[in-house]
Chains A and B, each alone.
Chain A
């Protein structure tokens, strides 16, 4: 990618960028279809049938009437061969139809389009919070390497990494209520400017912060031993300027490459945070869909998850050369 960029003029660079992005998309589409096929197959042959589950989950006085259940399954098309059902699903997908939930009859698009923005906003805020807190902390730790401050920051980062979200969440929530008797229970979603987002955001960011602090620290340590830093210091440049102008840029590079990993951490960690704090996001939808064996919703979530990761990896690959023109391939793949 960097080679491409180095040798073309501005206009042609934009065209090349477009071609690069489109190529990535084109490669991604068959991949995600294969993944969806695999997931569908596993769910179809392994997990329960969604219609039967509705009746089986009901209390015991509900009669399990095989006749009626067959009638429902027949009209939902669940008796058709697996490949035919998958093919139909993909066909509808290409027309922008995500189908209806087998359990509730609701349009999958409606369910997902209500849940996705919540998760995205949460993830975005978490990334911002992480960047604001973790990068400075990592730099401070590295620049004071092996001092007590370094140990304190490193220790806290490792501690944050170790605490599971589903433990930290409820404990902090109850701790908050106990310590601040005037506070209301931070449960529910009120948008990103509502105060209730604070606690879930903090809990969600624990792991990313820990990760970035360590990454930044390691990267800064590496950079600190470089010649240009020693030169700047020898020239008498104040430490802050050294930090911001000379060190920050090369440090951002490995951090940005971690974006894909962070995205995955957030998407996975968000399930617990959403369950504990009652946020109507994709995590909660996933748990519901899995419990009900609701194929269309499971497939839609797989699609979105994969899309998210693809986009963040794409962003990383596009941004990387902009940040560090000296990038070489071996380092990027680390």
Chain B
């Protein structure tokens, strides 16, 4: 190129650089102006609860008995009874519950109980709601915990029949339930939102199955709770609730509740900090206390806990000495510090917590004794760490769990010389290809009833799914006998508690789990939000009491 051309080109290059700068500046200014206008305007028409939801849930039916949407059930649905944050049962749709023999229960419906269109909540609605939740295709995760002892439930669960034969409705305001066996705490099992009361005619089709999208406002759905669903846009992940004027309980203080899906936790935290949102469905990050303060995730301890369970049917967990060695080689204080150094959960030494009988249970915490652990491992059938098969953890999904699992692996490496440890997030161990390999499952256990027997029956009784699947067919006759006998005792019988404690102590001797922490039910709302106390059912206890500022 000639010199003249080079000069011209250099000039042009210079000019374009200037132009580029100008453009950049303009863009920056434009962005600021737009940014300020695009900011979400805080509502000034009453108090609005703005909730960030961590997932784009495709299914908001209240009948699933679990999942993220379940945590908001108490906002738009009423339940037979409910527990407050101290664990005291309160009447709701049912005003009374009694049984002469703990087998046949009579419940009376509040005559003032109505749906959002003014129609009365009748016993037919209660029966219909229970039946549709029992149908397998409704895919309710926890209907078992509520209705498994009701006559007719087993048949529906197997796919034959669609009626709960044990539920009778002599008149509009009475429901009589006959169980397959005596259960002193049956009434407590109803006190949650697992099977909320909906209008049977709407939620249930003529074939007994759930009607698709019955709960959406465009299908003229009616709601039994303090708020009603005004609009739902599943693809955008947005729901709006407004007070139910016909609600038969106290008048709600909020003027609106908006739920928006924000999948990324870091973004959600920024949005809550900036004030655009004031609550979250389930926010778990390792810096939540630093970001949002301790009040955000504070809450009562509920009877739910997280532990690492050993599958005792798979090598090397089939040797009790190995199990004992593995447990004794872990400094569980360090384990808790590695995962939840600032709370809100509490370190656990046993399974039971927050139920009568949890304190002074006589369960001696597992000791931390690396030297003894090493000896035990050498005495086991494997003779030492080199011949142990690879140990596989599953359920290692969240960061805190990863930290805990890596801590455990490192303790085993340092104290016992075990190097072959693997961890995977998914729990699909026994549905998928790794079927025979997984030895350690991280999972939570708990109960929705403040009762030690029910807590343990769900995890260490040989009939429980936890014992069968995660513990690998665990069966301890002492445990089973104690729990079976305890289940027959009345709620206030001290024997009930003592037998449960005995069962737990018997379980201890099998060295089948690594105790981790007892769960706190975080309120996940900013300081200004009042009345967001939650209960052991993961619900907001009294949604009508929520207020802001």
Report A-B touching, CB under 8 Å.
yes
**Chain A residues packing against B (C-beta within 8 Å):** 46-49, 51-65, 67-68, 71-72, 74-75, 101, 103-106, 110-111, 114-115, 140, 143-144, 147, 149, 170, 173-174, 176-177, 180, 182-185, 187-189, 194-196, 198, 233, 239-240, 275-276, 278, 280, 284, 288
Report the Cα distance A52→B38, complex, angstroms.
43
Contact of A233 among B5, B40, B261 (CB under 8 A): B5
Residues 9-31 (chain B) with a chain A CB within 8 angstroms: 9-10, 12-13, 16-17, 31
Report the Cα distance A113→B450, complex, angstroms.
46
Least CB distance from A184 to B in Å reads: 4
Closest residue on chain A to residue B52 by CB atoms: A187
In contact, B13 and A48 (Cβ under 8 angstroms): no
In contact, A182 and B36 (Cβ under 8 angstroms): yes
- Beyond the given A103-B58, A280-B235, please list 5 additional residue pairs across the A-B interface where CB-CB is below 8 A: A71-B157, A105-B212, A106-B58, A176-B31, A187-B267
Report the Cα distance A106→B37, complex, angstroms.
36
Given contacts A56-B431, A105-B59, A144 and B267 within 8 Å (CB-CB):
no
In contact, B427 and A57 (Cβ under 8 angstroms): yes
Given contacts A63-B464, A278-B262, A183 and B31 within 8 Å (CB-CB):
yes
Asked whether B304 is an interface residue with its Cβ less than 8 Å from the other chain, the reply is: yes
Least CB distance from A74 to B in Å reads: 7
Least CB distance from B542 to A in Å reads: 24
In contact, A72 and B12 (Cβ under 8 angstroms): no
Report the Cα distance A182→B432, complex, angstroms.
49
Closest residue on chain A to residue B134 by CB atoms: A68
Report the Cα distance A276→B260, complex, angstroms.
16
In contact, A195 and B66 (Cβ under 8 angstroms): no
Measured between beta carbons, the chain A residues less than 8 angstroms from B57 are 104
In contact, B267 and A58 (Cβ under 8 angstroms): no
In contact, A61 and B428 (Cβ under 8 angstroms): no
Measured between beta carbons, the chain B residues less than 8 angstroms from A187 are 262, 264, 267, 271
Report the Cα distance A200→B65, complex, angstroms.
36
9 contacts between A and B (CB under 8 A): A47-B428, A47-B432, A59-B443, A68-B157, A105-B59, A106-B59, A182-B32, A184-B276, A187-B264
Measured between beta carbons, the chain A residues less than 8 angstroms from B470 are 60
Most buried by A among B35, B56, B144, B236: B35
Least CB distance from B458 to A in Å reads: 6
Closest residue on chain A to residue B58 by CB atoms: A104
Measured between beta carbons, the chain A residues less than 8 angstroms from B266 are 170
Measured between beta carbons, the chain A residues less than 8 angstroms from B67 are 58
Report the Cα distance A60→B447, complex, angstroms.
10
Closest residue on chain A to residue B237 by CB atoms: A280
In contact, B31 and A61 (Cβ under 8 angstroms): no
Measured between beta carbons, the chain B residues less than 8 angstroms from A54 are 139, 141
Asked whether B489 is an interface residue with its Cβ less than 8 Å from the other chain, the reply is: no
Measured between beta carbons, the chain A residues less than 8 angstroms from B274 are 184-185
Report the Cα distance A233→B433, complex, angstroms.
69
Report the Cα distance A106→B274, complex, angstroms.
34
Contact of A63 among B34, B145, B427 (CB under 8 A): B145
In contact, A61 and B263 (Cβ under 8 angstroms): no
Asked whether B103 is an interface residue with its Cβ less than 8 Å from the other chain, the reply is: no
Asked whether B444 is an interface residue with its Cβ less than 8 Å from the other chain, the reply is: yes
Report the Cα distance A276→B210, complex, angstroms.
35
In contact, A239 and B40 (Cβ under 8 angstroms): no
In contact, A71 and B144 (Cβ under 8 angstroms): no
In contact, B31 and A198 (Cβ under 8 angstroms): yes
Report the Cα distance A110→B446, complex, angstroms.
37
Measured between beta carbons, the chain B residues less than 8 angstroms from A67 are 157-158
Closest residue on chain B to residue A53 by CB atoms: B428
In contact, A189 and B464 (Cβ under 8 angstroms): no
Asked whether B466 is an interface residue with its Cβ less than 8 Å from the other chain, the reply is: yes
Closest residue on chain B to residue A297 by CB atoms: B58
Number of B residues whose C-beta is below 8 Å from A? 72
Least CB distance from B449 to A in Å reads: 11
In contact, A71 and B56 (Cβ under 8 angstroms): no
Measured between beta carbons, the chain A residues less than 8 angstroms from B17 are 149
Report the Cα distance A211→B284, complex, angstroms.
39
Asked whether B88 is an interface residue with its Cβ less than 8 Å from the other chain, the reply is: no
Contact of A185 among B37, B276, B427 (CB under 8 A): B276
Measured between beta carbons, the chain A residues less than 8 angstroms from B144 are 63, 65, 68
Least CB distance from B138 to A in Å reads: 9
Report the Cα distance A101→B433, complex, angstroms.
23
Report the Cα distance A71→B157, complex, angstroms.
8
Asked whether B387 is an interface residue with its Cβ less than 8 Å from the other chain, the reply is: no
Least CB distance from B1 to A in Å reads: 9
In contact, A104 and B59 (Cβ under 8 angstroms): yes
Given contacts A61-B304, A72-B137, A278 and B263 within 8 Å (CB-CB):
yes
In contact, A140 and B56 (Cβ under 8 angstroms): no
Given contacts A53-B431, A68-B136, A68-B157, A278 and B267 within 8 Å (CB-CB):
yes
Report the Cα distance A149→B264, complex, angstroms.
39
In contact, B428 and A149 (Cβ under 8 angstroms): no
In contact, B56 and A61 (Cβ under 8 angstroms): no
In contact, B466 and A59 (Cβ under 8 angstroms): no
Measured between beta carbons, the chain A residues less than 8 angstroms from B276 are 184-185
Closest residue on chain A to residue B12 by CB atoms: A239
In contact, A75 and B137 (Cβ under 8 angstroms): yes
Measured between beta carbons, the chain A residues less than 8 angstroms from B34 are 195
Closest residue on chain A to residue B209 by CB atoms: A75
Measured between beta carbons, the chain A residues less than 8 angstroms from B102 are none
Contact with A along B26-54 (1 / 0, CB 8 A): 00000110111111100000000000000
Closest residue on chain B to residue A76 by CB atoms: B137
In contact, A184 and B428 (Cβ under 8 angstroms): no
Most buried by B among A114, A177, A183: A183
Report the Cα distance A288→B201, complex, angstroms.
33
Given contacts A62-B66, A180-B35, A194-B38, A56 and B428 within 8 Å (CB-CB):
yes
Given contacts A67-B158, A105-B59, A60 and B270 within 8 Å (CB-CB):
no
Residues 48-85 (chain B) with a chain A CB within 8 angstroms: 56-59, 66-67
Asked whether B426 is an interface residue with its Cβ less than 8 Å from the other chain, the reply is: yes
In contact, A52 and B9 (Cβ under 8 angstroms): no
In contact, A64 and B31 (Cβ under 8 angstroms): no
Residues 109-162 (chain B) with a chain A CB within 8 angstroms: 136-137, 139, 141-142, 144-145, 157-159
Report the Cα distance A182→B137, complex, angstroms.
49
Measured between beta carbons, the chain B residues less than 8 angstroms from A101 are 58
Would you list the 6 A-B pairs with minimal beta carbon distance, nearest first? Answer: A183-B35, A60-B443, A114-B235, A104-B58, A48-B428, A52-B431
Given contacts A104-B59, A114-B235, A74 and B159 within 8 Å (CB-CB):
yes
Closest residue on chain B to residue A57 by CB atoms: B427
Measured between beta carbons, the chain B residues less than 8 angstroms from A177 are 270
Least CB distance from B401 to A in Å reads: 13
Asked whether B371 is an interface residue with its Cβ less than 8 Å from the other chain, the reply is: no
In contact, A65 and B137 (Cβ under 8 angstroms): no
Given contacts A52-B428, A106-B59, A275-B264, A195 and B158 within 8 Å (CB-CB):
no
In contact, A111 and B445 (Cβ under 8 angstroms): no
Report the Cα distance A143→B12, complex, angstroms.
11
Least CB distance from B489 to A in Å reads: 22
